[in-house]
Structure 1
């Protein structure tokens, strides 16, 4: 269930996250300039670079093109793998990429449900709460991620086409059974809204 769905929205979300990492790397390098190596050859192979040859007689030397200006970063964003310190930046990026379009009460309900559903899927905790998502057979499947190393980094809920459809976008970190820890994982969870006797409910849809 935690595999990445293939959708234009997911591609946009991935682009946003890659942009965060890129800005962070630029912000780290800016202001920490190191002297350039004597030559690429010497820096990469340890061998001195061949001596530069003089231009032919009567030919004016050609100056090297000016380097493009470095981008200015107003505030440093935490780099990839920086732990909980990066979560606020990821949350802000999500909110900037997709402005809120749901009533605040609905968004709170969806965000809470999305967090619980993802945790249940990844760690096995609370799967019984979602019988329409986790069948009896799936209830007993061993969790793929360690509870102690599972963390939701950012989450938002937005409309998904029809007025009664919504999607919860989650960015999270976790350590799988093989011991590999990775952050900036992406999962989208779909919900359907229903009104019964004046009560609004949001029901998660099974993943296909």
Structure 2
């Protein structure tokens, strides 16, 4: 089963995710409130007013609520249980909270390894590929999460204090053995750059 991640940025990222989710829920509730009679009457009155003239030079533009702008809406996380349709929003918020700082080829290698490690850790599938991380891979281990109800919602790979250290930060969803399905779970996998057969590669660090 995954353990609590050690990343010093986890608290910040978790706070961003929870805060954005709260903003999204408040925005949805506000949008669903029916208009009051006073606002309906005002809208009817304003509909009979002739169009205003184009603003002249030096006139300040009218302000728009930040909650109604596309950027604010797109940056808000979907509520829990949104499903696959909400995953792109999770990915966008993760990338905004932690900008890229690795070469693209390193990022691709780390993301592939991090996804495989998380799947192996949560479902038990593929543990034999990582004997240094899962020393019990040769034994029968009951998976903590159902393979058919496991999904990685978002993932990023970033440096972890130095060019030779990195962390893969993953947000995922899964159903545990008790039948409870939860999304927006967070797990970090840490890597160090090593040289094997004359080529640099990223090696995952065992859990402590």
Q: Which residue of 1 aligns with 2:42?
A: none
Q: Could you tell which deviates more after superposition, 16-25 or 109-118?
A: 16-25
Q: Which residue of 1 aligns with 2:167?
A: 167
Q: Which residue of 2 aligns with 1:5?
A: 5
Distance 1:89-1:139 versus aligned 2 partners, 3 A rule: farther
CA contact (8 A) 1:26 1:73 kept: no
The structure having more radius of gyration, on CA atoms, is 1
Q: Distance in 2 between matches of 1:6 and 1:204?
A: 14
| 1:198 Cα deviation after fit | 3.6
Note the alpha carbon deviations across 1:48-107, whole angstroms, 9 max, x for none. xxxxxxxxxxxxxxxxxxxxxx86242444322101111100100111111110000000
Say if 2:69 is the partner of 1:74: yes
CA contact (8 A) 1:175 1:181 kept: yes
Q: Which residue of 2 aligns with 1:25?
A: 25
Q: Could you tell which deviates more after superposition, 15-24 or 160-169?
A: 15-24
Q: Distance in 2 between matches of 1:207 and 1:101?
A: 24
Where structure 1 has 5 or more consecutive residues not aligned to the other structure, the ranges are: 37-69
Number of residue equivalences: 176
Q: Distance in 1 between matches of 2:137 and 2:196?
A: 30
Q: Which residue of 1 aligns with 2:192?
A: 192
TM-score by length of 2: 0.78
Note the alpha carbon deviations across 1:105-130, whole angstroms, 9 max, x for none. 00000001000000001001000000
Distance 1:73-1:2 versus aligned 2 partners, 3 A rule: farther
Q: Distance in 2 between matches of 1:96 and 1:156?
A: 11
CA contact (8 A) 1:150 1:174 kept: yes
